[in-house]
Amino acid sequence: MFTGIVTDMGEVIALERRGDLRARIATAYPAAGIDIGASIACDGCCLTVIATGTEPRNWFDVQISAESIAKTTIGSNRAGWTVGRRLNLERALKVGDELGGHIVSGHVDGVAEIVAMRDEGDSTRFTFRAPEALAGFIAPKGSVALNGTSLTVNEVDGRDFGVNIIPHTKAVTTWGQARVGDPVNIEIDTLARYVARLREWGGA
């Protein structure tokens, strides 16, 4: 379980096919404090740590299944994982931690696309286009996790929705490098998911 508050920008430093895809990610997190089997959200994807090390800098390895590659930006033609790619990282929530964003599972629901960006003062207004199957779960002033970042929806127009990203967020996450046309991992709000399920069940 996560909160969508990014705490490090990691970097993919190695990729290897061993049946599944194995990725080595450099991080500012001390390797000695990362347990094997721990969950770390990488651009919003909850991945399991299978190895750690400190040379040439702190790193951890994750194993990525074909399902994860197919359902997320990891395998994207435009913005898939390559050596040198920066990633938003968040370690799993601990009991007693501050809940600064919203409840995020790290289970990506699909891939959205940045369709417009414009500056508004010091902030940037991003417009995203959601997959049709997910559009109904996105509501004005609701929460959404995009590339692992908890963001507030400003407005919704069909499949398109807008969010404002402030300078601090752009500086400490990969949003400062985003471009129109980039695919992004999207996870809808857990509450929206269960409300929809309850409505569906009630109508059965």
Tell me which residue range forms the domain holding 57: 8-91
Question: Can you give the pLDDT at residue 102?
Answer: 86
Give the count of beta carbons closer than 10 Å to the beta carbon of residue 179.
Answer: 9
Q: Is the pLDDT of residue 79 over 60?
A: yes
Q: Is the pLDDT of residue 165 over 70?
A: yes
Whether residue 49 sits in one domain with residue 133: no
Whether residue 146 sits in one domain with residue 79: no
Lowest mean pLDDT among 46-55, 129-138, 195-204: 195-204
pLDDT tens by residue, 167-191? 999 999 999 999 999 999 999 987 7
Question: Can you give the pLDDT at residue 137?
Answer: 92
Whether residue 77 sits in one domain with residue 117: no
Return all residues near 154 (Cβ < 8 A) that are at least 6 apart. Answer: 125, 140, 141, 161, 162, 163, 164
Question: Can you give the pLDDT at residue 50?
Answer: 97
Q: Is residue 97 part of a domain?
A: no
Mean pLDDT of the chain: 92
Question: Can you give the pLDDT at residue 43?
Answer: 97
pLDDT tens by residue, 34-45? 999 999 999 999
Q: Is the pLDDT of residue 204 over 60?
A: no
Whether residue 149 sits in one domain with residue 195: yes
Q: Is the pLDDT of residue 199 over 90?
A: no
Beta bridge partners of 118: 125
Question: Can you give the pLDDT at residue 18?
Answer: 77
Whether residue 117 sits in one domain with residue 82: no
Q: Is residue 15 part of a domain?
A: yes
- 187 — phi, psi (to 5°)? -125, 120
Whether residue 197 sits in one domain with residue 135: yes
Summarize the confidence of residues 127-137 as an average pLDDT.
95
The Cα–Cα gap between 83 and 154 comes to 34
Pick from 69, 71, 89: nearest CA to 81: 69
Residue 35: CATH number of its domain: 2.40.30.20
Question: Can you give the pLDDT at residue 95?
Answer: 74
Whether residue 121 sits in one domain with residue 78: no
From 42, 64, 91, the end of a domain falls on 91
Largest CA distance in the chain: 57
160-165 sheet: strands from edge to edge: 149-152, 143-146, 183-188, 110-120, 123-129, 160-165, 155-157
Q: Is residue 2 part of a domain?
A: no
The Cα–Cα gap between 204 and 194 comes to 15
Tell me whether residue 78 is exposed, middle or buried, using C-beta atoms within 10 angstroms of its C-beta: 0 to 12, 13 to 18, 19 or more. Answer: exposed
Amino acid occupying residue 99 = L
Q: Is residue 152 part of a domain?
A: yes
Q: Is residue 103 part of a domain?
A: no
Tokens 């913005």 locate to 79
Whether residue 140 sits in one domain with residue 66: no
Question: Can you give the pLDDT at residue 197?
Answer: 67
Q: Is residue 20 part of a domain?
A: yes
Whether residue 127 sits in one domain with residue 82: no
Question: Can you give the pLDDT at residue 98?
Answer: 75
Pairwise pLDDT comparison (69 vs 101), residue with the higher score: 69
Whether residue 114 sits in one domain with residue 39: no
Q: Is residue 101 part of a domain?
A: no
- SS3 assignment, position 150: strand
DSSP state of 2: B
